[in-house]
Structure 1
Amino acid sequence: MQVLLLLVAFLLTTLSAFSQKNYITLQVPGRAEFCKIDTAGRSVLPSGRYVTPAGQSLRITNDPFGLALSPDGTKAVTLHDGVLTVLALNGRTQATRVPDYAGKIPSPVSGATFLGVAFAADNRTAYLSNGDKGRVIVFDTETLRATDSISLDGNGYTDSFTSDLLLNGKELLVLDRANFRLVRVDLATKQIKASIPTGRQPFGLAVSPDRKLAFVANVGLYEYPKVPGVTPTNKDTMMLKFPAYGAHTKESREGVEVEGRKIPGLGSPLADEAMSVWLVDLATNKVVSKLKTGVQIGDRTGARMIEEAEVVGGSSPNSIVVGSRYAYVSNATNDNISIIDYRSKKEVGTIPLKIDPKLDRYRGLMPFGLTLTKDQKTLYVALLAFNAVAVVDVQTRKVRGLIPTGWGPTRVALSPDRGDGPGKTLYVTSARGFGAGPNGGKGFVKPPQGTYIGDIQLATFQAIPVPDAAQLATYTKQVLANTYQAVTVTDNGKNPVPVLPRTRTSPIKHIVYITKENRTYDEVFGQLSTGKGDSTLARFGVGVTVKSRISTKRGAVGRTTDQPGDTVTVTAADIMPNHTRVARQFAYSDNFYCDSDASIHGHHWMMGTIPNEWVEANAASAGRFDAFSKAPGRRFPKSSGAIDPEDYNEIGGLWEALERSKISFYNFGQVNEYAGNYEEQFDTTFGAAQPVVFPMPAAAFRHTSRNFAGYNTNVPDQFRMDQFEREFTARWLPNGKKPAKERLPQLITAMLPNDHGAGVRVEDGYPYLHSYMADNDLAVGRMLNFLSRTPYWKDMLVIITEDDPQGGVDHIDAHRSILMMAGPYVKRGYVSHTHANFGSILKVIYNVLGVPYVNQYDQTASLLQDFFTDKPDLRPYDAVLPDVRIFDPVQAMKPYKKNFDWRKIQKGPEMDDRADQRADHYRQQNEGN
């Protein structure tokens, strides 16, 4: 008997060993660390990657997207959002912010800038892009004062927007992105002497050494028309209630009839005006060549498939540097450099930015700023998404190595040649530097720039001695080590999340991905003793005190002390009790970070799209959108809650990946907030209306609800939950003896945005900012209460997160935010300390659903298997009501003449109640009339 038992034990052990498999995964090096800034060592970013900038690093104002060196190499000027920095480069680098925080140095740019800065030959005068103001500012770097300005308006042009610029002898060449033109300005007279048409949204500018040929990189894809019939006075009734079509489709090319009107098409994404490089003969002011650099959308020449996926994003050519014969163009989306022979006026080659065999299959570098050595043998390329500068051997067309930078390098320049030889110092600007760090909490000292995430997150200016081969090899190893580690993970087949996609089947069949708006970890979870929180920052927790000043004006509530009226205090208020309850009952992370600073980034990242240079530069610059302007570029894409065609990655993001893999999905409310949206209380079918014809990503367009209010804080999250429950029930739940009409998709995305917050509205049930949080909290509770009572709960995973953290403060890092998971296969009462970001969430989705990774951020993200168990717990979630003194859902639903039936909500879906289904049917019919 004992021998038999030993034999059985041996066989079980052997079978277990055979059932285990080892997989090599790529994961970020900081997966066991919290975010931190160590300017003298190694900083941990929200992505879990490290930054260790080479050379000397100086922290300057955030988002430097313009850089120029004086001809003698003693000064540099960087251009930020309404700010410039003047740097003295002799000896130890010193920086002066203009305007300064003390208010002694005035702003020369009136809060508007964009990309362009150039130095005059006197090493003193600088020309600055005045961006949205449509001017060029002449600036004295010695006195730190503006001496003149040059307007681009006039001669029939209005609403100009100054983009890149450069000095060309006795003239300035200036791009006007609003009017799609290149402007030539005579510096002696300050008059415009020529306006030359360009492609759409001209962005990058260069000139040949002989000053005879100008090069313009156009990053715009489409010229977006106004919706027919819309005027400034009727926009609330005539705007489109839902996008007319998906991008790059027959409908988007030719137009379509919707909502009783013929909506014009956008034409072909392959048009000469779209994402191209134009060459302009400065002797004749004629465009002499229009080149489509990089990989093209739906390429028809045989290069249609890249990495087994069709190309959906344009190449985004953005920066140009010119040698004696060749010009080099950075194609951000393609991770490559185009080579143009400008004598023949043709593209003659491509430099693929291959850096590591483990990474090269995926995109994730985003080449941006360029500079070329005087001998034209070496090209330096700022890799915006890779935190490095690539050193490229021009002759072999290969990457020689990488130099570590701060987070998000934007521009790179070489010190000018001197008598002792070629430039020996490389200067690099990085948009986010070492990261943000904490912006509140015990012991936090408010810095002069403030506490908002975009202000506290300083940029870096690096001065790096040009490395020799040995130093470059060391730098290269450091960059790769900062980015990922190859980790062997043993998979015994038990964890519901496979180690890699398509290695085995997960018991999780359905994922619901809920995204919310703008909250940090500490302000919601700071009270939880099981996590690393600061309870003093938990203003939206439980048992908190809420104060507000009520204005004497009827129906208005203010939150500033200068308003008249009495102070109202509510004590022991539970603002977001469902968040706390879900976190305690299921699992949450105290080490999750949004990669984003704001919505314009966040809605890209969380849908699997890396923001490109167009997104980043626009986010860092004020720009007036005007649907009715004569300047076509004023109808420019700058979505905060959607993804524009100019932003699409080469093979897309989450939507496209799911569709390629034939994974069923459905979207409630994502990608709804386009530039110029009109968001009113009764815009409830989509949440917003459009005055301009912007397309939706085609994959999302095909799978998005037409009756769910996306981002619009005028609409209660309770209304959204009613919409969600109604459509979910009608589509995917059985009715009596009848089976469900459709099979529940494998992935559902849903937006619950009201924790963004908005102005107080007493009459609508929002007497405090906290009211929006409570509304959102109740919706989250309702979502889980509902889902956990459906037949799908047994194999469901619910993921809950935020799009960005900009609304609050946190004592660990301004990027730290909320990540909760719930479902039968999620551990109960668990806190994950694994460093996580949006890439980690997407990695869970891709691994569970068997979808190949899309980009390097998915590929290298932390693996979050620690959240899960192989022993399912099917207990449902019971929602609770937040404090009615803070938010009254009955009052919030009154404008819509809808009841809030808490008892019915608590019961969950009544799948077999035909009477209820009949009543709901007629209610929907009446609403449609």
Structure 2
Amino acid sequence: MVLLGLSSILAACGGSSAPPSLGTVSTTPLPTGQLMSPTATPGAAYMTLVPGFKTNPSLPAGFAQSEALSPDAKTLLVLTSGYNYVVDSSGKQVPGDSTQFVFVFDVSAGAPVQKQVLPVSNSYVGIAFAPDGKKFYVPGAGEDNIHVFAFNGTAWAESGTPIKLGHTSANGLAQGPTATGIAVTADGTRAVVANRYNDSVTIVDLVNAKVIAEQDLRPGKSGGASGTPGGEYPNSVAIVGNSTAYVSSERDREVVVVDLSPATPSVKARIPVAGNPNKMVLNKAQSVLYVASDNADVVSVVDTAKNVVTASIPTLAPTSVLTAAQARYKGASPDGLALSPDEKTLYVTNRGTNSLAVISLASTPAAVTGLIPTGWYPSDVRVSADGSRLYVSNAKTPPGPNPGNCLGYETVPCPVAGSPVTFGANQYVENLTGSALLSFPVPGAGTLGLLTTQVASNNSFNSVPSDADAQLMATLRSNIKHVIYIVKENRTYDQILGDLGKGNGAPTLTEFPQKTTPNLHALANTFVTLDNFFDSGDVSGNGWPWSTAARESDAGAKMLAPNYAGNGGGGSYDWEGSNRNVNVGLAGSARNAANPLSQSLDADTLPGTGNVAAPDGPDGQVQQGYLWDAALRAKLSVRNYGFFIDLTRYHLAGTPYAGLQIPTDRTPFASGIVQAYAANSNLAPLTDAYFRGFDDNYPDFYREQEWEREFDGYVAGSNLPSLSLVRFMNDHTGSFGTAIDGVNTPETQVADNDYAVGRLIEKVAKSPYASNTLIFIVEDDAQDGPDHVDAHRSTAFVVGPYVKKGAVVSNRYTTVNVLRTITDILGLDHLGVFDASQSPMTAVFDLAQTSWTYTATASSLLKATALPLPTTVAYAAAAKPTHDARYWVAKTRQFDFSEEDKVDAMAYNKVLWAGLMGGKPYPSKARAVEPTADGQKLPKAAAQRPAAVTAAG
């Protein structure tokens, strides 16, 4: 990898040719393919936010979202909005620990000193001090209220009963309200609260603790044309004096200006901005508003006298760090801002690139002069009163391994050395993902140049493939004409391939071994074993964005933990084409045809096809940053089997809307029964309407048959699409009481998924397309199982011509590398800054391996089902199910399997382990030293575990 020379960066930063050295910089690899180095800045302090739970004293608080600095600049508040679902050792929720938090720091002497940790029952992104500094306010998210905290002379405490905002529903289908951003008027008498799902702001009398007005921000509800998008998904609020509120509208890419001066507020202006606006900050004179915008990767500069945008400042990197071509790509995701006391510098957190952008406002035009490394997902920033120190909150920390306790990798002591430990409480990936506060002195120009180089290295900016790698990919591009991309659901590496017999696996953690998944094992053995592969997403909510766009939106990243915890109302699942359970990929009659329930919505509920969480393309193509969009721009053909499908009509039995349910059908094309409506406007015409989307009731066997029906047609017509998107999801498991054809236990469902994958590969292998088709297979995330290396480590497979045979490839690859490889092979433009910067998976390929073949094998578990398996099918070694469907139904009655990740994953994982592993306790130490078939022993797991990497600064 080659990076831009240090001298050019220093010149851009105003540094000398001999700046001070950073010394040794410690970096940590992330599942996104990046590195983070939060302590690279001299004098930096990086502290994990640990609230000190009564029952779980070492468990961190996740997702630090926002900061507030007191008017006297002596007290710093850090608000979390994490996965607030904490359980005891028996799996029972601990209400006192299942909260959000405000961490209170004394910053009067510069370095932060933690003074208090205040529980707040629910929160999202809003927190604000009163002008006199004696109170602060936190909107209660799904509780639809405002929590008031007051200083009693010695400490902070919640004061009185939260102020109710009075919303009974929200604008959407089965979606509750959520209070988000908040700002207080200059006189301290009123607060303005943004209501994320009501598309409104509430004006609250703080003196009398009551609501005094509500203003709908949508044009059709505020004097404009009905059915016009605008004002939806309000995020943050900034107030000029006592009379004018500015509200960022994430979905509709505008800042709404609300006049607060009359008794009845009104919308007086709408300011279009690039990208999806989120947090904002005013200068002292309140004449300029700075607005951070995801997707466009800019800060919009708004003149508050004229209510117009006067400039847009890119935040990704100094112009010297990236070429003009590379600067096209998006992914910086600015999401927090702060002005220096002299207002000559604007600091912006770049969530996507784990950096703090330093923007000179004194230069013309204003521009980024340097980047400072942060922790993972920086979310907000504040500056000390004298401008000498910065405080950056970081939403995430790496979760590490998740097999329970006492694996030997812990930072806290094990309870009793050598004692067996049952399935560890709070080992779900979102429980293990903490957050942190980073503080450091403002670096000088020379040091800033070095730090910019470090950020560039952490993100592989300006990386250049070797000549050999470039030639290899060029050869593949000239020979491979078709890619089939299969995405599955939620499994870790150890859970499936821990028993493979080679590679870095822990057999004691394998829940679906070779007898259950013979095809996945055969693929890993026949082609390449990728034993160091990481899913970039934590869960489906960000797993699907990473798997289809190589990045995630800021709106999605912030809502992930609250949505998955579900406490206090949670939030809507907006990651696969719907917003608030409304199919925004379609509009008008097409939306109503997909889901007739949408007819109950008025014309001002999410009009148009705006999607708050969709990525933009590299040249500003709005909401067209997905893999299929890149293929369409390259004039390639695309076919979709199950990606981004509207699921609302799959589970209406037993409801008043049962007549709208789409029935399962084993041969839907022959029956003429449509099974799927896409929830993405570009995918809609490319989607196989007879390929059923996510539904645990429906075996993948029939999905594969439908794919096979179309494939046979493509063979006959010699017109196989360049890119095929295939979702085989039944390894998610669930719906055991209603699943059809006896595919109604975890083992049979995973075996069904395994056989569908094998059948598809066999079909390609024995077709005219075998010589020019590559198949890539990933899990969207790894949340539903144990892994002794990391909670993000998962399985991935590459199958077809030019793939190595029988090789173990331990290169650290992620979902981003898969997408980079696909785009390179098909000759597509990159999707964003991450796949543009990271390498293709060249270690997987061998150009001498031109021929290949494959024959699918079925797990013998499928013999007990009613699936119409071919009479010629070969079965793997005999396997006995651990339990029948009645057992699994009884154990999972409390779970909702209607959509991915509605289930309580932590509890479900415990049920799976207990039922599949014969009741044995979780191992006290996962064994990765196992004899292979030839009697040799594998390397120790600890030796191969990704450790903190040390690099020279």
Question: Could you state the TM-score of these two structures normalised by the residue count of structure 1?
Answer: 0.72
Task: Report the Cα distance in structure 1 between the residues aligned to 2:356 and 2:70, rounded to whole angstroms.
Answer: 22
3-state SS, counterpart of residue 457 of structure 2: helix
Contact 1:181 1:195 in 2 (8 A): yes
Q: Following TM superposition, by how much is the alpha carbon of 1:453 offset from its aligned partner in structure 2, in angstroms?
A: 0.9
The aligned counterpart of 2:417 is: none
Shift of the 700–217 alpha-carbon distance from structure 1 to 2, 3 Å rule, reads same
3-state SS, counterpart of residue 647 of structure 1: coil
Shift of the 329–121 alpha-carbon distance from structure 1 to 2, 3 Å rule, reads closer
Contact 2:298 2:334 in 1 (8 A): yes
Q: Tell me the amino acid that sits aligned with residue 802 of structure 1.
A: E
Q: Deviations over 1:408-451 (max 9, x none)?
A: 11111223x2xxxx233211111213x22111274355989821
Q: Following TM superposition, by how much is the alpha carbon of 1:841 offset from its aligned partner in structure 2, in angstroms?
A: 0.9
Q: 2:534 aligns with which of 581, 593, 608?
A: 593
Contact 2:196 2:235 in 1 (8 A): no
Contact 1:497 1:868 in 2 (8 A): no
The aligned counterpart of 2:693 is: 710
3-state SS, counterpart of residue 720 of structure 1: helix
3-state SS, counterpart of residue 139 of structure 1: strand
The aligned counterpart of 2:640 is: 667
Shift of the 121–211 alpha-carbon distance from structure 1 to 2, 3 Å rule, reads closer
Find out whether 1:87 has 2:76 as its counterpart.
no
Task: Report the Cα distance in structure 2 between the residues aligned to 1:86 and 1:191, rounded to whole angstroms.
Answer: 27
Q: 1:114 aligns with which of 124, 130, 139?
A: 124
Q: Tell me the amino acid that sits aligned with residue 84 of structure 1.
A: F
Task: Report the Cα distance in structure 2 between the residues aligned to 1:180 and 1:657, rounded to whole angstroms.
Answer: 32
Q: Tell me the amino acid that sits aligned with residue 719 of structure 1.
A: Y
Q: Following TM superposition, by how much is the alpha carbon of 1:634 offset from its aligned partner in structure 2, in angstroms?
A: 12
Q: 2:198 aligns with which of 165, 176, 179?
A: 179
The aligned counterpart of 1:443 is: 408
Find out whether 1:623 has 2:571 as its counterpart.
yes
Q: Following TM superposition, by how much is the alpha carbon of 1:138 offset from its aligned partner in structure 2, in angstroms?
A: 2.0
The aligned counterpart of 1:533 is: 505
Contact 1:596 1:602 in 2 (8 A): yes
The aligned counterpart of 1:454 is: 430
The aligned counterpart of 1:321 is: 281
The aligned counterpart of 2:69 is: 69
Task: Report the Cα distance in structure 2 between the residues aligned to 1:905 and 1:575, rounded to whole angstroms.
Answer: 14
Q: Following TM superposition, by how much is the alpha carbon of 1:631 offset from its aligned partner in structure 2, in angstroms?
A: 9.3
Task: Report the Cα distance in structure 1 between the residues aligned to 2:678 and 2:358, rounded to whole angstroms.
Answer: 38
Question: Could you state the TM-score of these two structures normalised by the residue count of structure 2?
Answer: 0.71
Shift of the 832–479 alpha-carbon distance from structure 1 to 2, 3 Å rule, reads same
Shift of the 860–523 alpha-carbon distance from structure 1 to 2, 3 Å rule, reads same
The aligned counterpart of 1:819 is: 796
The aligned counterpart of 2:140 is: 130
Contact 2:755 2:859 in 1 (8 A): yes
Q: Following TM superposition, by how much is the alpha carbon of 1:178 offset from its aligned partner in structure 2, in angstroms?
A: 2.4
Contact 1:87 1:93 in 2 (8 A): no
Find out whether 1:207 has 2:207 as its counterpart.
no
3-state SS, counterpart of residue 331 of structure 1: strand
Find out whether 1:288 has 2:319 as its counterpart.
no
Task: Report the Cα distance in structure 1 between the residues aligned to 2:500 and 2:78, rounded to whole angstroms.
Answer: 46
The aligned counterpart of 1:189 is: 208
Q: Following TM superposition, by how much is the alpha carbon of 1:616 offset from its aligned partner in structure 2, in angstroms?
A: 1.1
Find out whether 1:217 has 2:248 as its counterpart.
yes
Task: Report the Cα distance in structure 2 between the residues aligned to 1:732 and 1:842, rounded to whole angstroms.
Answer: 24
The aligned counterpart of 2:342 is: 375
Contact 2:677 2:689 in 1 (8 A): no
Q: Following TM superposition, by how much is the alpha carbon of 1:620 offset from its aligned partner in structure 2, in angstroms?
A: 2.5
Task: Report the Cα distance in structure 2 between the residues aligned to 1:869 and 1:643, rounded to whole angstroms.
Answer: 43
Matches within 5 A, 1:512-527: 512-527=484-499
Can you give the 5+ residue segments of structure 1 that lack an aligned partner in the other structure? 1-22, 27-38, 100-106, 221-273, 295-314, 543-573, 687-692, 734-739, 894-898, 907-929
Task: Report the Cα distance in structure 2 between the residues aligned to 1:880 and 1:789, rounded to whole angstroms.
Answer: 15
Contact 2:733 2:745 in 1 (8 A): no
Q: Deviations over 1:162-203 (max 9, x none)?
A: 111122212211111222212111111111122223243343
3-state SS, counterpart of residue 786 of structure 1: helix
3-state SS, counterpart of residue 530 of structure 1: coil
Q: 2:379 aligns with which of 392, 402, 410?
A: 410
Task: Report the Cα distance in structure 1 between the residues aligned to 2:395 and 2:410, rounded to whole angstroms.
Answer: 23
Q: Following TM superposition, by how much is the alpha carbon of 1:326 offset from its aligned partner in structure 2, in angstroms?
A: 1.2
Matches within 5 A, 1:581-730: 581-621=522-562, 622-623=570-571, 625=580, 644=611, 646-649=613-616, 650-651=620-621, 652-673=625-646, 678=651, 682-683=663-664, 696-729=679-712
Coordinate RMSD, CA, aligned: 3.3
Task: Report the Cα distance in structure 2 between the residues aligned to 1:339 and 1:85, rounded to whole angstroms.
Answer: 30
Q: Deviations over 1:127-157 (max 9, x none)?
A: 2121112111223573655632111116999
The aligned counterpart of 1:545 is: none
3-state SS, counterpart of residue 313 of structure 2: strand
The aligned counterpart of 2:912 is: none
3-state SS, counterpart of residue 498 of structure 1: helix
Matches within 5 A, 1:483-882: 483-484=459-460, 486=462, 489-491=465-467, 497-498=473-474, 505-542=477-514, 574-621=515-562, 622-623=570-571, 625=580, 644=611, 646-649=613-616, 650-651=620-621, 652-673=625-646, 678=651, 682-683=663-664, 696-729=679-712, 731-733=713-715, 740-761=716-737, 764=740, 765-766=742-743, 768-882=745-859
Q: Following TM superposition, by how much is the alpha carbon of 1:485 offset from its aligned partner in structure 2, in angstroms?
A: 6.1
Task: Report the Cα distance in structure 2 between the residues aligned to 1:643 and 1:773, rounded to whole angstroms.
Answer: 36
Task: Report the Cα distance in structure 2 between the residues aligned to 1:126 and 1:186, rounded to whole angstroms.
Answer: 14
Q: Tell me the amino acid that sits aligned with residue 63 of structure 1.
A: F
Task: Report the Cα distance in structure 1 between the residues aligned to 2:873 and 2:494, rounded to whole angstroms.
Answer: 33
Shift of the 862–380 alpha-carbon distance from structure 1 to 2, 3 Å rule, reads same
Q: Tell me the amino acid that sits aligned with residue 379 of structure 2.
A: T
Task: Report the Cα distance in structure 2 between the residues aligned to 1:626 and 1:513, rounded to whole angstroms.
Answer: 26
The aligned counterpart of 2:160 is: 147
Q: Deviations over 1:434-474 (max 9, x none)?
A: x2211127435598982111111111111222222223222
Task: Report the Cα distance in structure 1 between the residues aligned to 2:306 and 2:677, rounded to whole angstroms.
Answer: 37
Shift of the 350–720 alpha-carbon distance from structure 1 to 2, 3 Å rule, reads same
Contact 1:782 1:905 in 2 (8 A): no
Find out whether 1:361 has 2:335 as its counterpart.
no
Contact 2:381 2:391 in 1 (8 A): yes
Task: Report the Cα distance in structure 2 between the residues aligned to 1:156 and 1:756, rounded to whole angstroms.
Answer: 31
Shift of the 645–71 alpha-carbon distance from structure 1 to 2, 3 Å rule, reads closer
Aligned residues: 724
Q: Following TM superposition, by how much is the alpha carbon of 1:205 offset from its aligned partner in structure 2, in angstroms?
A: 3.0
Q: Deviations over 1:724-766 (max 9, x none)?
A: 112211x212xxxxxx235111221111011112243387424
Task: Report the Cα distance in structure 1 between the residues aligned to 2:558 and 2:695, rounded to whole angstroms.
Answer: 25
Contact 2:645 2:677 in 1 (8 A): no
Task: Report the Cα distance in structure 1 between the residues aligned to 2:811 and 2:604, rounded to whole angstroms.
Answer: 44
Q: Following TM superposition, by how much is the alpha carbon of 1:115 offset from its aligned partner in structure 2, in angstroms?
A: 1.0
Q: Percent identity?
A: 28
Q: Which is further off, 655-664 or 57-66?
A: 57-66
Find out whether 1:344 has 2:306 as its counterpart.
yes
Q: Deviations over 1:573-629 (max 9, x none)?
A: x22121111100111311111110111111111112521111112212212657789
Q: Following TM superposition, by how much is the alpha carbon of 1:364 offset from its aligned partner in structure 2, in angstroms?
A: 1.7
Q: 2:27 aligns with which of 3, 22, 42?
A: 42
Task: Report the Cα distance in structure 1 between the residues aligned to 2:626 and 2:170, rounded to whole angstroms.
Answer: 38
Contact 1:665 1:745 in 2 (8 A): yes
Q: Deviations over 1:512-565 (max 9, x none)?
A: 1111010111111112332112222111123xxxxxxxxxxxxxxxxxxxxxxx
Shift of the 834–681 alpha-carbon distance from structure 1 to 2, 3 Å rule, reads farther
Shift of the 707–70 alpha-carbon distance from structure 1 to 2, 3 Å rule, reads same
3-state SS, counterpart of residue 319 of structure 1: strand
Shift of the 750–820 alpha-carbon distance from structure 1 to 2, 3 Å rule, reads same
3-state SS, counterpart of residue 506 of structure 1: helix
